[in-house]
Amino acid sequence: MKTTALPKDPGPAAWDAILPPSKHYASLDCAITADWLVIGAGFAGLSAARRLRLLHPKDRVVLLEARRIAEGPVGRNTGFMIDLPHNLTSSDYAGAVEKDRAQAAQNRFAIQFAKEAAADYGFAPDTLVQSGKTNGAATAKGDTHNRDYAHHLSGLNEPHELLDARQMQEMCGTDYYQSGLYTPGTVMLQPALYAREMAKGLALQNIKIFENSAVKALKREGATWKATTSSGTVEAPKVILAVNGHLESFGFFKRRLMHIYLFASMTRALTEAEDKALGGKPVWAITPADPLGSTVRKIRADGGSRIVIRNGFTWSPGRASNPRKPQKFARIHDRTFAARFPQLAEISGPAFEHRWGGLLCLSRNGVSAFGEVDDGLFAAGCQNGLGAARGTLSGILAADLASGETSDHLEVMLAEAAPTLLPPEPLATIGATTAMKWGEFKAGMER
C-alpha cells in the first residue's frame, strides 16, 4: 500500500529548537534487511525499539522516522507524562473508577519504563523529572471541576492536594488562579531531549536509526514486509507501525481516528528582571481544570526561564495543517499570557520566540488503535492526547505482542474495543468542529 499522507507539523519543534544542534542520523539510501522494523520515532516507536532490544539482544532492529528525531509531535508536546487518567473528552478528566484504576496502573508502568531507560542510557539531568503537576482553576466552574476530580481521586485512593489562590500565586506568580489540584505522579519531560536521549541510547545498543526517511509504501512480499522510502528499502518479517494517527495514512483504522492539530507558543528566555517581576517558583507545570483550557508551563532552559502556553485545536481529517496556522493562534496565546501575567506586559508578539502546532489522534471511545493489523504487522497508535505515557505503553506492548510475550497490561490493551466508526462526512467535520468550538467557548477564562 502507498501512504496517503506524510507528517506535516507546522512551525518549529520548539523544544528541539532550544537545544544545541543534535547528532544527525543518516537517511536511508540503500536496501537493507532486518529482523524488526519500527516505523515512527515518537514515544511509541522509541519505546517499541527499546523493548525489542531488551527482548531480542542480538536481532537487527531498524527505526525509520519521516522527520529528524525530536522534530515530530514528540518534540512539540508540552511534556506532561501523566500517570492519572486524563480523559480530554470529559468535563473533569475522570472516567469510571475501575477503568481509571487500570489506566493509572498502565500509565505508571509506562512511566517506570521511561525512568529505567533514563537510568540505563544516562539521560541528561532535567530530561525527565517527577515533579507532579497542578490543575489550575481560573473560575468557579473550574474550581468545581477540580473538587469533583479531587473527590474522584479520593475514591481511587490517589494522593492529591487542593491549593488555594495564595498557594497558586506563590507557585506561579499570578493571582489568575482561584485554586489548584496538585497530584504528585506526573513526570515532566523536556520532550525533545527525551527523544534525543532515547535515540542516542538505542543507537548505542546497535539499533539502526534513519531520520528524514518517510515510508512511502509498505507491502507484503512473501514472508517479509518491504518498506520503501524515497531512496531505500527495508525488508523485515515483523513491523511495528508507531505512527499515531498516520495509521490511517497506511490504510488502517479508516474513518475511526480523529486527527487534531494542537497549538503552542514559547517565549524567549526572560531577562532576570522579567523573571523577578514574574515571581513564583523557578519551574512549574499547570494543566487546565477544564480539558479545553490552557496548559501553561514555566521551564528553565539554557539562557533562562521561558513560559510555554498551549491551547487551540483544529480538526484536520487530512492530517495536514496550513503552515501559517500557528500565527493564527498567536493572538489567542498572547491573550492567554497577558491575562495571567500582566506584570510582563512586554511579553507578546515577537517576544514569543516559537509558535507551532502538532498532530494528535483521538478516538470517539477513547481507546488506542492497537494490535496485529495484518500478518506480522502491528499497530501502536491513537494515544488520545496522552501520548507521552500512552504512546510509551503502546510501543512496549506492541513489541511484546509481536514477540509472543504475554502480560496483564497486554491483556488489558487487547481487551479494549476497536476505535468506533466516525459519522459520515460532512457530519463528522461539522460535529467535531462544533464540539471543539463550543468546548473552547465553555472553557471561558480557563483558556
Please identify which residue in 50, 51, 68, 76 interacts with ligand FAD, judged by CB under 6 A: 76
Please name which of 323, 320, 317 lies closest in space to residue 259, comparing C-alpha atoms: 317
305 near ligand FAD, judged by CB under 6 A:
no
208 near ligand FAD, judged by CB under 6 A:
no
106 near ligand FAD, judged by CB under 6 A:
no
Binders of ligand FAD in range 386-405 (CB under 6 A)? 386-389, 391
Name which of 165 and 412 has its Cβ closer to ligand FAD: 412
In sequence order, the 6+-apart residues with CB closer than 8 A to the CB of 240 are: 36, 37, 38, 39, 45, 48, 52, 378, 380, 395, 398, 399, 402
Please identify which residue in 10, 11, 12, 72 interacts with ligand FAD, judged by CB under 6 A: 72
Distances (CA, A) of 176 to 165, 223, 274: 8, 60, 18
67 near ligand FAD, judged by CB under 6 A:
yes
41 near ligand FAD, judged by CB under 6 A:
yes
Please identify which residue in 50, 160, 196, 246 interacts with ligand FAD, judged by CB under 6 A: 246
CB of 77 to ligand FAD, least distance (A): 3
Please identify which residue in 12, 173, 291, 385 interacts with ligand FAD, judged by CB under 6 A: 385
Name which of 173 and 385 has its Cβ closer to ligand FAD: 385
363 near ligand FAD, judged by CB under 6 A:
no
Name which of 173 and 358 has its Cβ closer to ligand FAD: 358
| Stretch in the footprint of ligand FAD (CB under 6 A) among 152-160, 198-206, 327-335, 379-387 | 379-387
CB of 55 to ligand FAD, least distance (A): 19
73 near ligand FAD, judged by CB under 6 A:
yes
419 near ligand FAD, judged by CB under 6 A:
no
Binders of ligand FAD in range 255-294 (CB under 6 A)? 262, 264
CB of 336 to ligand FAD, least distance (A): 13
Name which of 225 and 275 has its Cβ closer to ligand FAD: 225
How far apart are alpha carbons 293 and 138 in whole angstroms? 10
> Per-residue x/- marks for ligand FAD, 119-138, CB under 6 A?
--------------------
Are the C-beta atoms of residues 82 and 386 closer than 8 Å to each other?
yes
CB of 199 to ligand FAD, least distance (A): 11
Residues at the site binding ligand FAD, with contacts judged by CB under 6 A? 3, 6-7, 39-45, 64-67, 72-74, 76-80, 214-215, 242-244, 246, 262, 264, 310, 358, 360, 381, 383, 385-389, 391
